[in-house]
Structures are given as structure tokens and as C-alpha cells.
Structure 1
Amino acid sequence: EASSFLDPLTNIYNRRKFFLECQLLGNASYPQAFCLIDIDNFKQLNDSYGHDVGDRALVAFGHLLQRAFRASDIFCRYGGEEFAVLLGNCSLDNARDIMEQLRARTHRLTLNLADGRQVRFTTSCGIAPVSAFAALQAAIKQADEALYFCKKNGKDRVSVHTQAGFI
């Protein structure tokens, strides 16, 4: 049943469907990049404006993801305020450019509240290379480390996990 593969709030793939789709890619002969995106200060957003505004932020970001990627890319709501993307046939440099563009587009998202206030939010993203589905778990760990590096260094940024460290 298709609805069991969609996140009920954002109407994009859920984590389960994401991994099923990634499995179908198997051992791709082209470069792939795994990206882990987090809405910055999401707890503060919920605490300051209420969970309905937090939900609106998640939905707005989900819609942005639907417009931002190619049909061949796989993305999902990974959990809470985290989203995952697998960019196929994409170098790390290109992945970084794509995620920087997404970050810039997120800056332009505005949630209009009933009282006239406007709410904006930012995102951080960690990126890691993926060579095959079997290597996806290692890439997830590396992307999570790159995301942590972003958070530790001021948020609202993109970081790539490389052999030499984070860039």
C-alpha cells in the first residue's frame, strides 16, 4: 500500500521506503552522495511558536525538496526534523553545490503566522560518498558526523566528510 511508504505529514517518502529505493540501486558504477539535512533550532521553533508552526516548517521544507531534486534522486523525511537524500551520479563537489543551493532556497521560505509575524528557518547538511548499498550505513555515519560538524560550527551550513576531514 502506497500510503505506508509516505510520511503522513510531509507526503514524501518515509525512512522505510527510502531504504527500499536505495537497495534497488545496488552497486552503482557511478558516484553517489548521501546527504543528511537537519532543520536548525527546530525545538526552539516548536517551543516559541507551537507545534503547528513546526509542522508547517516540515511541510514547507518537504515541498521544497520535491521541487529541488531530479526524478532519479531519492529523498525522505528521515525522522523528526531530519531529511535524507541520495544523489545518484553525483560527485561530492556537485552534491555540495546542490545542497548549498537548497540551503539558499530555504532562506527564502517564509511561514506567515495569523498575527502577521513571519517565521524563517535555516538548515545544516552533512554529505558523504556512497559506493554501494552495502556501504550506505558507513555513509550515513559519515554524513551524520559532517552534520554534527556543521552544528558545532554555527549551523546554517553544508559540510562534506572526506578522508582528510570536513570541508
Structure 2
Amino acid sequence: MDRVFDTRLPFDFPRIIDDLLPVGMVVVDRRFTVVMWNRFMELNSSMRAESVLGKNLFDAFPELNRNWLEKKIKSCLVLKTASFSSWQQRPYLFRFKVSSMDSGEADFMHQDASIFPVYDHEGVVQGACIAIQDVTAIAEAKLLLDRTMDQALDLEETSQRDGLTGLYNRKFFDEQITQEILSSRRYGWPLALAMIDIDHFKTVNDTFGHDGGDAVLRNISTQLRGMLRASDTLCRYGGEEFALILPHINQDSASVLLERLRKAVEGMQVALEDGQQVTVTMSVGLASLQDGMTPGQLLGNADKSLYAAKRAGRNCIVSHVEPATPAPPSPPPSP
């Protein structure tokens, strides 16, 4: 077997491994008796090598996960292959305290562990070496990054939500309708937009106060959201007005869905804290995306239909009808 270092050089390689290597090195024989315990392990376990050498590893450290580690070592001895365990799979093998010089938040050392066979001079596997690498700084940086990302996502989600109803807000609607139109054009699926307004909402506020009005908005939002598909997007557009983006659905099918929503709201009784019951209705304007239409034009058509629904007596749905394209003029008669 080729040498891994030149024995003629004046280097004490065993001492380098034992005392200077910033990695924990534990060697056990086939009976799990500890035959090597380097300086890293002494410092972090607070156990001198003299108190560990010659002892069964699991007797010296009963807190080790014996079932898991025994299987790993036996597999290494039989198959003569190395194995690796990341801190993300198993935070630690030996539960060591973090160095006092470490200013991080971890209360124990995060470790990567490698187990590989140890051969004698004749190439026979006589034991296994467990190498412990302190990756606490890496782990803490990764965990901090994950927390930061989660907080950023939470902030983004909060910025997209209406504080009262929990629905998406106007800002999110403006972004989402543009994306839905692009997707509709790219994939060729239909897209409908409904503008919804709570009828006589000012009267609700005047009669039951703003707390009563808020309760109505929250209850209606919950009712509508529970009846929609996962692909639909319901937004609080402003005040008592809502915008509902309906992808993958044509105008006729959207009308059927909206009629179910209208009837559900009509049948609601919102219970206020003082025991009073409030009933409301809603008016709906519906429009569908046509070729070459901008987000503003689609919204404008839905708004026009909403105003038409209010003029028609409220508590109804009005769908926008595109004007018919005039037929081309007939050619002049032949002379």
C-alpha cells in the first residue's frame, strides 16, 4: 500500500492528528473499545484520554444514540465503506457544549460526523474512526438565514394583506391581475374579473357603527373565501368593495359561481357583539378578458357592469357584453 506521508521527514504526524487537528478523532475496535481519543475530544468532553481509553464507547458515553451508531460502525466494518451524517440530519453525535468564545445562540455544538474503516498493516479492518467536525458557526449562519428569509416572507405576506379581513389588498390585486392576464394570453385559457360591492353599506355603518360594519366585512370575506377555488384570488379593493379574479373560467361559468356567492351572502345573518343580527346583499359586475385588452380596460368593464347592477336595483349580477363587431360593408353592385 502506498504511504500517505514520507517517513523520512521530521514531522510527528501522530501528534498532529492527536493534538493539533481541529477535528475530533475517536477510534474504536470491533468491540467498540476506545483506542484513540484526541485532544479535540478531550477539550470538548472534559474527559482526559486516560479516563476513556480502554473503555467501551457506549459505557463511557451512555447518552450516545447506541442503536444508530452501532449500526453505522458495524456497517463500516463489514462493508469497508465510509458514511457521513450532516448536522441537518442529526444535529450532533456527541452532545458538547459550545465554546465560551462562541458568541452565538446555540447551546450545543452542531457537528458533521464521518465514520470510516481503520486498517492494520496487512490491510485488515480492525476498527472504525469517528471524525467529528464542529460546524456550529455554519449551522447558526444557516439557521439565521432561514429565520431572516421567513421574516422577509412574513413581511411580504403582511404587506399584501388587508388588516381587517385578511384578504389580499389593492396593491396585490394590481400585481396579480397583470400576471393573470399574461398567463391567460400565454396559455390560452379564459379569465374573468368580478367587482363586488356590499349594498347600502353606509346604512350599516350608520345603524350599527363602524364595529358592526367591520364585523359584516369580516364575515362576508370569510364566507366568500370559503366558497372559492384555490386558483381564485379575492381582494379587498377598498371600503366595502371587493375584486375577484377568476382564471380558467368563462363568463357564463363565472356567472353561475357568482350567483352562488350572491345567494350565500343574501342568506347570511351576521351576529354582532350586542346580539343584533345584520343582513346584507351584494351587487356584482362581471367582465371577461378579450384579445388585446389591458388590465385597466378589463377592470373598467367590470366596474361598468357593477354600476349597472346598482342601477338595476342591487342584489344582482350584471355581465359586461362586448359590442358586436359591425359587419364589413357590402361591395358595390357590379355595373
TM-score, normalisation: structure 2: 0.47
CA contact 1:27–1:131 (8 Å) conserved in 2: no
Aligned to 1:142: 301
Q: Separation in 1 of the partners of 2:165 and 2:274?
A: 24
1:36 aligns with 2:195: yes
Q: How many equivalent residue pairs? A: 165
**Worse-matched range after superposition: 109-118 or 86-95:** 109-118
For structure 2, the 5+ residue unaligned runs are 1-155, 325-335
Partner residue, 2:221: 62
Q: In terms of Rg, which structure is larger?
A: 2
For structure 1, list consecutive stretches of 5 or more residues without a partner in the other structure: none
Amino acid paired to 2:170: R
Identify the match of residue 257 of structure 2 among 98, 106, 128. 98
More deviation, 113-122/61-70: 113-122
Higher helix share: 1
- How far apart, in 2, do the equivalents of 1:15 and 1:38 lie? 15
Which deviates further from its counterpart, 126-135 or 155-164?
A: 126-135
Paired residue type of 1:113: L
Contact 2:178 2:295 in 1 (8 A): no
SS at match of 1:83: strand
Task: Tell me if 1:15 matches 2:181.
Answer: no
> What amino acid maps onto 1:23 in structure 2?
T
Quick check: 1:49 aligned with 2:208? yes
Q: Per the alignment, do residues 2 and 101 of structure 1 end up closer, same or farther by CA in structure 2, a change over 3 Å counting?
A: same
Identity of aligned residues (%): 37
Q: Distance in 2 between matches of 1:16 and 1:117?
A: 34
Q: CA deviation at 1:134?
A: 5.6
| Alignment match, 1:122 | 281
Distance change (3 Å), C-alpha of 1:57 and 1:164: same
Tell me what 2:245 maps to: 86
Runs of 4+ in 1 over 6 A off after TM superposition: none
Bigger RCO of structures 1 and 2 (CA < 8 A, at least 6 apart) = 1
Question: Using the alignment, how far apart are the partners of 1:60 and 1:6 within structure 2?
Answer: 16
